[in-house]
Amino acid sequence: MDVGDVAHGGVCVARHEGRVVFVRHALPGERAWVRVTEGGSDDPFWRAEAIEIVTESPDRVQPPCPYAVPGGCGGCDWQHAAPRAQRRFKETVVAEQLRRLAGIDMRVEVEPVPGDADGLDWRTRVTYAVDADGRAGLHRHRSHDIVPIERCLIAHPRVRDVGVEAREWPDTESVEVVAASGGRLVIAECTSPEPEPPILASDVSVAVAADRDGSRLRALHGRTEVVEEAAGRRWQVTGGGFWQVHPGAADILAAAVLDALDPRPGERGLDLYCGVGLFTGVLAGRVGPDGWVVGVEGSRQAADDADWNLRDLPGVRVERGRVDRTLNRADVAPEVDVVVLDPPRTGAKARVVASIAARSPRAVAYVACDPAALARDVAIFAEHGYTLAGLRAFDLFPMTHHVECVAVLEPTAQR
């Protein structure tokens, strides 16, 4: 079939007898033989993968990883496309989501970020699945099947040097490797109550997850915390707590948020889904001792890390609790000047957006890893009198379809 435009999710759109087919491993403008992987005669669309390219796109390259092929590892979507073409596809997707879901026509540029090698060697946090034979690997696309691998090329060299793929992991369901600015940590989710600590490099700490989401850790060797360095400060991150996985991400996002909000001395700030406090800290540095910043975080461990990381900054308070519920409390920043909104992939949604608008900030910086959720929430902000005033997009996840955006929203009356 003839392959058409790129779509959200690392696929291209083709059509077969009137039915939409979402095709992986193809590029716009190609002609290819495809194999249907999901869908039957009664389904409105099919999923497929290109198994033979008849007419190649000039953007096509040989995938550097032998596992980035049909039926292989599902972690990378665009290894068969040149890096600049990958960014162009992401620009198309972000612009299309804004147009379709928010009714906004905007030119989008996806910026490369220092810290990777032509799209490789960047991922500082990798979670490996472990198969029944104790071999570490990664999942196939949209599958629980595990593909054992010898080497992940997008993993940071300090992750690969731990050697997870080279050893067996009996009685283990998953292994996460964290390569931070200061230290490395391996977290194993084990089925055995008393696992044997693996023998790894001397500078690698080892912990076992005490529950499935990894929020409680038991150290087998070394510490359960790592230290990251960004925005001129050091940040403690416990276990597999959230931190951006691209080595250049924290600095560039902190700078983009400050550019979007331009916080002023004495202003009042609110940082929602604040994690370990990165944006809370950079806001506090700008508003100074005469201003204040409240961070809100649902994870108790992340909030504890934020308290520790921001303990020297006056005027900073961290609230523990679900963001939507915490914002309903009258004592939590009833009026603010600037807001940072960095929700999970599903976005902020209507209840949180309404609570933000009710506080009448002069500007909101929305940090988003999913363009569809961002566009949906931008449309909700518009219902509350806020306009999309600007947007930057960053290629923090090369070789994949993911893209990070920083959008700034302002009251329509200010425009």
Assigned domain for 72 exists: no
Which structural domain, as residue segments, surrounds residue 50? 3-60
Q: Are residues 207 and 348 in the same domain?
A: no
Whether 290 is in a domain gets the answer: yes
Q: Where are the alpha helices (DSSP H) in 103-225?
A: 157-160
- Shared domain for 171 and 284, answered yes or no, is no
Same domain for 322 and 371, yes or no, is: yes
Calpha distance 55→29 (Å, rounded): 8
Whether residues 333 and 287 share a domain: the answer is yes
Answer yes or no: is 286 within a domain: yes
Query: Quick one: 158 and 49 in the same domain?
Result: no
What whole-number distance in Å separates Cα of residue 83 and Cα of residue 69? Answer: 17
Residues 218 and 358 in one domain: no
- The pLDDT of residue 99 is 98
- CATH at 44: 2.40.50.140
- Is 369 designated active site? yes
Are 222 and 261 contained in the same domain?
no
Q: Are residues 188 and 311 in the same domain?
A: no
8 Å CB contact between 347 and 70? no
Question: Do the domain assignments include residue 118?
Answer: no
- Together in a domain, 329 and 375: yes
Q: Give the CA count within 13 Å in the CB-facing half-sphere of 185.
A: 27
Predicted pLDDT at 191: 87
Give the residue from 184, 200, 228 where a domain finishes.
228
Task: Assess whether 223 and 253 both reside in one domain.
Answer: no
67: annotated binding-site residue?
A: no
DSSP class per residue in 59-96:
TB---SSTTSSTTSBSS-S-TTB-HHHHHHHHHHHHHH
Q: Are the beta carbons of 29 and 54 closer than 8 angstroms?
A: no
Q: What is the per-residue pLDDT for 197?
A: 78
Query: In this structure, is residue 86 part of a structural domain?
Result: no
Same domain? 166 vs 258: no
User: For position 336, which CATH number holds?
Assistant: 3.40.50.150
Q: Does residue 194 fall inside a structural domain?
A: yes
297 is in an annotated binding site: yes
pTM over 0.85: yes
What pLDDT does residue 194 have? 79
Q: Which of 14, 31, 60 is the last residue in one of the domains?
A: 60
Residue 160 falls inside a structural domain: yes
**Burial, 188: exposed, middle or buried (Cβ in 10 Å; 0-12, 13-18, 19+)?**
buried
* CA gap 64, 76 in Å, rounded: 11
Chosen domain end from 228, 262, 282: 228
65, 76, 369, 405: the active-site residue? 369
Is the same domain home to 202 and 276?
no
The residues of the chain scoring below 70 in pLDDT are 212-215, 415
- Coil, strand or helix at 276: coil
- Is 386 labelled as part of a ligand binding site? no
Number of domains forming the structure of the chain: 3
Instruction: Tell me, yes or no, whether 260 lies in a domain.
Output: yes
CB-based contact 47:38 (threshold 8 Å): yes
> Which residues have CB under 8 Å from 103's CB, separation 6+?
379
Tokens of 20: 């939409």
